[in-house]
Amino acid sequence: MTVLQKSGLEENIRDILEILGEDPNREGLIDTPKRVAKMYKEVFEGIGVEPATALTTTFDSEGYDGMIVVKDIDYYTFCEHHLIPFFGKAHIGYIPNERIVGLSKFARLVELTSKRPQVQERMTEQIARSIHEVLQPTGVMVSVEGQHLCMCARGVKKPGTSTVTTVKKGSFLNDESLIREFERSIASK
């Protein structure tokens, strides 16, 4: 984000405060436009970055063909419909074909998909597709749990509700035993 763009964002935040009836010159709000612009730069840093770039370094699986599960990856993102947060956990399971990736790369992949205005369904698909395309595993399954403030704090106001989205590719599409193994893995503590 260029200085001019950041400045324009700060001015727009200031305008929003005025439209809402606030005085952007009062002590508590003087630096708010600057802080909000800085926060937006951070939380939307994934815009324009292809999520699959998180998986660029792969390794030989050395014959390992069992399921690999990385679970409870925290994420925070913004609903693209209301620009308010939703957050939760992502769970990733895959069966390598010939290539594996460092486990921390899955956290980075989730991070890249969440650092943009998002919907949970697309985020789940982007994670699964990136893994499927880069690693070409036998199968991949991704489950994302989310709590959406647009549902909990406004509108229908149903706090405590959560949404679960799941994408299956390859061998996970038709193999119920793999699906159950993945589900048991993410349910265990």
DSSP secondary structure, 10-53, as one string = HHHHHHHHHHTT--TTSTTTTTHHHHHHHHHHHHTTTTT--GGG
Whether residue 1 has pLDDT greater than 80: no
| 48 domain-assigned | no
Whether residue 4 has pLDDT greater than 70: no
128 and 76 in a common domain:
yes
160 and 67 in a common domain:
yes
Which one of 120, 126, 132, 145 is the catalytic residue? 120
68 and 97 in a common domain:
yes
Q: In total, how many domains does the chain have?
A: 2
Whether residue 182 has pLDDT greater than 50: yes
Whether residue 163 has pLDDT greater than 70: yes
Going by C-alpha positions, the residue among 76, 70, 105 that lies closest to residue 88 is: 76
| 123 domain-assigned | yes
pLDDT in tens, 13-56: 999 999 999 999 999 999 999 999 999 999 999 999 999 999 98
**pLDDT value at residue 124:** 98
Range of the domain at 153: 57-187
Q: Known catalytic residue: 152?
A: no
| 162 domain-assigned | yes
Which one of 11, 18, 50, 80 is the catalytic residue? 80
Q: Known catalytic residue: 80?
A: yes
Stretch 100-120: mean pLDDT: 97
Whether residue 170 has pLDDT greater than 50: yes
| Structure confidence at residue 3 as a pLDDT band (50, 70, 90) | very low
**pLDDT value at residue 142:** 98
Residue 33's CB: how many other CB atoms inside 10 A? 21
Residue with tokens 């999520």: 51
164 and 116 in a common domain:
yes
pLDDT mean across residues, the chain: 94
| Structure confidence at residue 7 as a pLDDT band (50, 70, 90) | low
183 and 133 in a common domain:
yes
Please tell me the distance from the alpha carbon of residue 189 to that of residue 179, in angstroms, as a whole number: 18
Q: Known catalytic residue: 150?
A: yes
Please tell me the distance from the alpha carbon of residue 127 to that of residue 105, in angstroms, as a whole number: 11
Q: What CATH number is associated with residue 17?
A: 1.10.286.10
Which one of 82, 147, 152, 183 is the catalytic residue? 82
Residue with tokens 């793999």: 178
| 52 domain-assigned | no
| Structure confidence at residue 6 as a pLDDT band (50, 70, 90) | low
pTM greater than 0.75 (yes/no): yes
Q: Known catalytic residue: 91?
A: no
Q: Known catalytic residue: 132?
A: no
39 and 64 in a common domain:
no
2's enclosing H/E stretch is none
| 18 domain-assigned | yes
| 129 domain-assigned | yes
Going by C-alpha positions, the residue among 58, 94, 77, 66 that lies closest to residue 167 is: 94
Q: Known catalytic residue: 148?
A: yes
Q: Known catalytic residue: 11?
A: no
84 and 177 in a common domain:
yes
Q: Supply the angle between the helices 104-114 and 120-135 in degrees, to the nearest 10.
A: 140
The H-assigned helical ranges of 27-175 are: 32-43, 104-114, 120-135, 149-152
169 and 95 in a common domain:
yes
